[in-house]
Each structure stands twice: as C-alpha cells, then as structure tokens.
Amino acid sequence: MREELKISRSFFWYAYLLLLALERKLYYRSGAGFMKTGKFIIPPEKQTMAASGIREIAARLGAARTKRELGEILAREIQGYSMFDLQIIGGRLNSEIEKLPSPYRESIRPYFREQLFGKHHKILVMHHNRALARLSGPLRDPETFQKFCDMIPEGCFAWDDASERNPYFRNPKNRLFYYLIAAFTMFVLDEPGHPAGMPFPGGFSVEQRGRDYYCLIRDKEKEVFYSICNFCPALQTEGNGQEKGILKNVEKKSEYSQ
C-alpha cells in the first residue's frame, strides 16, 4: 500500500513540462505580465489578495492551543489543495532536487519527498480515521509556535530563485503548503522539520536518539528568518565549527532545505 501511494517522479515531471508548455497561454489568461528580463511577476492586486488570505490562515493557526486544535485546522487547510496543486508542488520539488549535485541528489531525494508528501498523506489519514480528534495535550513551546505563525505571511513571499519563470512555481500558495506541512510535523507530531536520517553535505544528518532528535545546523539558520530550522524541536548537535554555513551551497539551489 505504501508503495502504491508514492507519487512517481515521472508523474510530477509530466505536470512540470505541461505547465511550461502552457506558460504563454497562462500568461495572457491570468492578466499577469513579464518584466523586460522575462521574469514572471504577480499582478499587485492578486498579490494583495494572496497576502491577505495567508495572513488569515496564519491567524487561525495561531489561535490553536492544543495539538488537536492545530491538527484539525491544518487538515482543513491542506484539504483545500487540489491534485493539480499537488502536481505543481511536486514538479517544483523535483525541479529543485535535480539542481543538486550527484550523488547527493540521489541520497536526499526520498527524504525531501517524505518531508512533504509523506507527511501530507499522514495528516489526511489521521484526519479521516479521527486520530487528530483523539490527540491530547497542549502545543509544545507555545511561544515558538506563535513566532512561527507570525513568520508565515512574510515567509511565503521570500523567494530565493528570482530567475524562476514558471508562474505557478512562484505561487505563494505553494510556499504556504510547505509551512502547513512543517507545522504539522513540528508542532503536532513533535518531529523535526527535516526527517530523521536526512543527509546534509559533509556527511552529517538529522539524528534520532531515543525520543530526542539532534541536528548539526539547528541553530545555524537564524539569519534566514523564514527557515523552519528556527522553530524545529530538534536539539543542536555539538559541532566542531564545520557546521557553520554547511547548507549554503544547498540553499542556493533548494528552498526545501530551509
């Protein structure tokens, strides 16, 4: 069953290529425009509407006080993503992974997919079997959670790849999906934002030791305000100085490492 539920690489690449083929048609239909550089820009009125909607969602999340409340709010929001939306997000994910050097690309691919789509499947299953409704207990670290919610509206518009031309890949709704999944993982499941075992350059990885998680770069991303590392329940692994800037090369190529 688990294998059947995996979203194939070819499926998402098909969606990606389809979007590229339709880009010119979407450009005219959306009322959006291109700058002289050829980069896609969102019309101001649509960007304002998107920002307002994201602020409302972040406020609803921030009102949660228990894992049950947060889990049910997240499930409702995530169910609003259509299969087409998921195809776009998956296409962007595969596009980002393909930019990474081999063999790191091959080793990290399943962890990125688990981070997004594994947890997407899990929250929907927990919603349908009423496991979310049976959760008990308050949220871990309410102060950190509130800071996470406060970050979301601005974080959804903080793009790294200014050269991305596909309009749907630059949609803030996609970035919101990333934060919704991270909220479920970090504050409902109390797991690290990046899965245990996920490798980083230099041979480091997210470790699980009993019920605790450790990450070498947990406290090293503070200059990136929209990084989920700043809100992660993982503990900082003691390093030897090599961890500083360890993700720089990856971050330039993949927003999902943040």
Residue 144 has pLDDT above 70, yes or no: yes
Residue 231 has pLDDT above 80, yes or no: yes
- The total of other beta-carbon atoms located within 10 Å of residue 114's CB is 18
pLDDT for position 185: 98
Burial 235-254, CB ≥16 within 10 A → b, else e: eebeeeeebeebbeebbebb
∠ CA 87-37-255, rounded to 5°: 40
pLDDT for position 224: 87
Q: Which residue has the higher pLDDT, 244 or 54?
A: 54
Is residue 209 classed as helix, strand or coil in its secondary structure?
strand
> How far, CA to CA in Å, does 184 sit from each of 78, 111, 114?
10, 16, 13
Q: Quick one: average pLDDT of 217-245?
A: 79
Average per-residue pLDDT for the chain: 79
pLDDT band with cut points at 50, 70 and 90 for residue 17: very low
Q: Does pTM top 0.75 for this prediction?
A: yes
Residue 5 has pLDDT above 60, yes or no: no
- Poorest-pLDDT segment among 2-6, 20-24, 129-133: 20-24
Task: Say if residues 65 and 188 touch (Cβ distance below 8 Å).
Answer: no
- Element containing residue 249 per DSSP (H, E): helix 248-251
Residue 246 has pLDDT above 70, yes or no: no
Task: Say if residues 220 and 243 touch (Cβ distance below 8 Å).
Answer: yes
Per-residue pLDDT tens over the stretch 83-132: 999 999 999 899 889 989 999 999 999 999 999 999 999 999 999 999 99
pLDDT for position 159: 66
pLDDT for position 249: 45
% of the chain surpassing 90 pLDDT: 57
